[in-house]
Amino acid sequence: MSHVMKDRKLLGRIRRIKGQIASLERSVLEGEDCYRVLQQTAAARGALNGLMAELIEGHLRYHTLGRQGARRRAEHEVDEVMTVIRSYLS
């Protein structure tokens, strides 16, 4: 089983994003005001960026920290990479 499958809160985030995208689609189909569509698009992008950061962090922590040995140093390295990734995605 993938480590992603073990993190049940990811599914909740994905379902919320799915709802945001469905709402965005409805807004476009119904001819909603352009500003509202832009707002919904920005919100969906932010949610996807947050999900991406969480997935990357889970991957790094599982595959980097899962190894035995210099765990403290590895934790520090993961924290540094995640700081850069979150900065990039925001």
Q: What pLDDT is attached to residue 78? A: 85
Average pLDDT, the chain: 86
Residue with tokens 């599914």: 11
Regions of the chain with pLDDT less than 70: 1-5, 66-70
For residue 72, give the H/E element and its range.
helix 71-89
- Per the CB < 8 A criterion, the answer to whether 45 and 72 are in contact is no
How far, in Å, CA of 89 to CA of 49, rounded?
6
Q: What pLDDT is attached to residue 67? A: 61
Domain 8-89 has CATH 1.10.3720.10: no
Q: What is the share, in percent, of the chain residues with pLDDT greater than 90?
A: 48
Q: What pLDDT is attached to residue 25? A: 97
Would you list the domain boundaries of the chain? 8-89
